[in-house]
Amino acid sequence: MTRAILVVGATGNQGGAVIDNLLQSEASFTILAVTRDPGSSAAQRLAHKSSEVKLICGDLDDPFALFKNTKAIVSEPVWGVYFVQNPLASKQTPEQEVKQARKFIDECIHHKVRFFVYGSVDRGGDQSFNNRTPVPHFASKYDIEHYLVEKAPLANMDWTFLRPTGFMDNYKPGFQAKIFLTCWKIAIKDKPLQLIAASDIGYFAAQAFMAPERYKAQAISLAGDELTFNQASKIFEKTTGQGIPLTFEIFASLVLFFLKGIGLMFKWMQDEGFNANVQELRSSHPHLVKFETYLETQSGYVSRKQGNIADHINTISFGNLSKNFQDAITVTRSIGI
């Protein structure tokens, strides 16, 4: 029997990776891709990947309408859900993020969803469930995890938590990469930072949906590499032939100061930090993406012309500091973790 899986955030990095990995699997799934705008180019690209992908118009602020729209598209009930939020991009407060997630979980329970995979965040490896952290958009995910663990057993709904570390996808060409990398350089310094590619988050989500009995009640911290900034910088130069893209440190310092959530996140990375078991993950998934592999195959740097990369890296000038800082604030709001 074909199982229907509802993928929230389908046009984002994580949701898109989940869909790609489900399509590559040998299992038979109907994939319900949630998007606010089914007519968007990103949504249409998803729909053209396979006839198994069905676009569902929906908004997490109204989960009742979302499930109603699902019933209008497919007859089978929703068996599984992949759930991820991006509160920084949508300018949600942590309290709004938690409220939205609780409403969605309650609606899943009402519709008898059997398996719920939650894209959370690592908060120290095995200590994550008991470590709320001072980082607002980490603490909100702690609260959501605890709500799910409390409510799911009452409705016979199994769950899996996937806890990513730092996103490699934050380093794709663009000003966001410059800001994020400069924050890494000045805030974390010589301490190693764990990183994960969205494609690997999608891999483990698909594995969970294909083997729910194995993955139920499991919380898995995800990282494919662990590097200091200097190590990452050398890998970047070796792989792309260019220096790692940075901006003026004053921009990064202002971002860390004015955007409290970002500042607290980088401070936590320095004081405590991610703690996924990379070796154990690689034993179960030998193709776990390392930073060098990500740069070569997914980042977009290697495929760009050398001159274009150099121009891209050197676009910022002291003559336009105000605009550059406003750009820094804007793009940094879209950083996930």
Confidence of residue 209 (pLDDT cuts 50, 70, 90): very high
CA atoms of 52 and 37, how far apart (whole Å): 19
Helix-strand-coil split of the chain, %, nearest 5 = 55, 15, 30
Confidence of residue 87 (pLDDT cuts 50, 70, 90): confident
Helical spans, DSSP H, in the chain: 13-24, 41-47, 63-73, 94-110, 136-151, 175-183, 198-210, 212-215, 229-240, 249-258, 260-271, 278-284, 291-297, 306-313, 321-332
Domains and CATH numbers, the chain: 3-166+196-222 (3.40.50.720)
Token look-up 């969605």 returns 104
At 1 the pLDDT is 72
Helical spans, DSSP H, in 211-335: 212-215, 229-240, 249-258, 260-271, 278-284, 291-297, 306-313, 321-332
CA atoms of 292 and 102, how far apart (whole Å): 38
pTM of the predicted protein model = 0.91
- Residue 165, judged by CB atoms within 10 A of its CB (0-12, 13-18, 19+), counts as buried
Q: Does the structure show a pLDDT above 70 at 207?
A: yes
CA atoms of 7 and 210, how far apart (whole Å): 15
φ, ψ dihedrals at 50, nearest 5°: -165, 150
At 305 the pLDDT is 42
For 237, other C-beta atoms within 10 Å of its C-beta total 12
User: Residue 245 carries which DSSP code?
Assistant: P
At 327 the pLDDT is 56
pLDDT 10s digits, 27-69: 899 999 999 999 999 999 999 999 999 999 999 999 999 999 9
Q: Does the structure show a pLDDT above 50 at 314?
A: no
CA atoms of 192 and 195, how far apart (whole Å): 10
CA atoms of 257 and 38, how far apart (whole Å): 38
User: Residue 187 carries which DSSP code?
Assistant: I
pLDDT 10s digits, 108-121: 999 999 999 999 99
Q: What average pLDDT does the chain have?
A: 92
